[in-house]
């Protein structure tokens, strides 16, 4: 696997593959790679001839007082995992390579970026959309893969690609879970072992709500209220629990068929998110 730190090196590598008629997949990450990321790389290998992985802890998607400084940076381990995974290129730029100091342009998917996680993390999705748009412009992949775990992020990115006519296919890849049901996340590393056991209740809350809907319960507000209570009793400080339409993340009503349950909650100091998609 080739490792590059500059935009021009990454463009050179991609250009050579392109002139040989090869297709390119991009897996954008912030590093501290776990089984969920490696699944993205695996799926990427099925979709294109060459796989580029980016590792960039993007400062613009972290708010004041969030964990940008302490976000786990595990460069050597990540490189070893990627080598074994069969990725072709690791693009690992410095902040100064990605952002010029007087940058004036922000990509903002309005509305969607202000709901749910966007309400608690103002500016977060603008940071995500801007950096992903930049990565698309740098690598110019045919396909890019993102985890379904960050469902709102995936919806923001799909909307941006549609609205800006960016020629890239966006693929959502199934969440990888621990045996307990806890969705894999780099932030799980912040949990104490006691918290890690309790954290599995986040997924349980989603399963209970899904089962209630599938059993025919029609008061979605009541289901959401019970889920928030369940999380509180399990020791979380819930942020939101929302029954939404899969396509645009607006609140679902009882006639909607394709649903996604979105939730975020704090356990101790750690903010966790999870979701569950299903058809009614």
58 near ligand PAF, judged by CB under 6 A? yes
44-67 in b/e form (b: 16+ CB < 10 A) is bbebbebbbbbbbbbebbbeeeeb
**Cα–Cα distance for residue pair 144/26, rounded to 1 Å:** 5
Active site residue 37: yes
Q: CA neighbours within 13 Å on the CB side: how many for 115? A: 19
76-89 in b/e form (b: 16+ CB < 10 A) is eebbebbeebebbb
User: Which residue's CB is nearer to ligand PAF, number 131 or number 276?
Assistant: 131
**Cα–Cα distance for residue pair 29/213, rounded to 1 Å:** 34
Site for ligand PAF in 138-177 (CB under 6 A): 150, 153
Stretch that binds ligand PAF, among 67-75, 128-136, 193-201, 212-220 (CB under 6 A): 128-136
Q: Quick one: which of 13, 14, 29, 156 contacts ligand PAF (CB under 6 A)?
A: 29
Dihedral angle sign, alpha carbons of residues 107, 152, 35, 195: positive
Q: Quick one: which of 40, 87, 131, 171 contacts ligand PAF (CB under 6 A)?
A: 131
Residues forming beta bridges with residue 273, ordered by sequence position = 264
Select which of 14, 25, 32, 37 is catalytic. 37
30 near ligand PAF, judged by CB under 6 A? yes
In angstroms, give the least distance from the CB of 128 to ligand PAF. Answer: 5
User: Which residue's CB is nearer to ligand PAF, number 41 or number 209?
Assistant: 41
In angstroms, give the least distance from the CB of 79 to ligand PAF. Answer: 17
78 near ligand PAF, judged by CB under 6 A? no
Task: Give the residue numbers annotated as catalytic, written as ranges.
Answer: 37
Q: Which residues bind ligand PAF (CB under 6 A)?
A: 28-30, 58, 61, 128, 131-132, 150, 153
């Amino acid at each position: 696997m080739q490792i590059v730190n500059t935009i021009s090196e990454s463009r050179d590598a991609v250009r050579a593959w392109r002139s040989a008629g090869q297709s390119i997949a991009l897996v954008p990450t912030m590093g501290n790679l776990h089984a969920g990321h490696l699944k993205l790389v695996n799926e990427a290998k099925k979709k294109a001839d060459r796989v580029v992985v980016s590792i960039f802890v993007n400062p613009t998607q972290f708010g004041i007082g969030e964990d940008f400084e302490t976000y786990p940076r595990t460069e050597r381990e990540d490189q070893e995992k990627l080598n074994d995974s069969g990725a072709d290129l690791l693009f690992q730029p410095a902040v100064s390579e990605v952002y010029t100091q007087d940058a004036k342009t922000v990509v903002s998917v309005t509305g969607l970026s202000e709901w749910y996680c966007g309400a608690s993390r103002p500016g977060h999705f603008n940071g995500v959309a801007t950096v992903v748009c930049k990565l698309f412009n740098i690598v110019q992949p045919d396909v890019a893969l993102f985890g379904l775990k960050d469902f709102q992020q995936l919806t923001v990115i799909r909307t941006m690609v549609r609205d800006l006519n960016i020629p890239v296919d966006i693929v959502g890849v199934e969440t990888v879970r621990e045996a307990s049901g806890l969705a894999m996340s780099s932030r799980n590393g912040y949990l104490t072992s006691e918290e890690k056991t309790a954290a599995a209740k986040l997924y349980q809350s989603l399963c209970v709500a899904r089962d209630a809907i599938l059993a025919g319960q029609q008061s979605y507000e009541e289901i959401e209220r019970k889920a928030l209570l369940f999380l509180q009793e399990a020791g979380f400080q819930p942020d939101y629990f929302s029954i939404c339409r899969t396509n645009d993340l607006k609140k679902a009503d009882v006639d909607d068929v394709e649903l996604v349950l979105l939730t975020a909650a704090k356990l101790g100091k750690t903010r966790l998110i999870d979701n569950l998609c299903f058809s009614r």
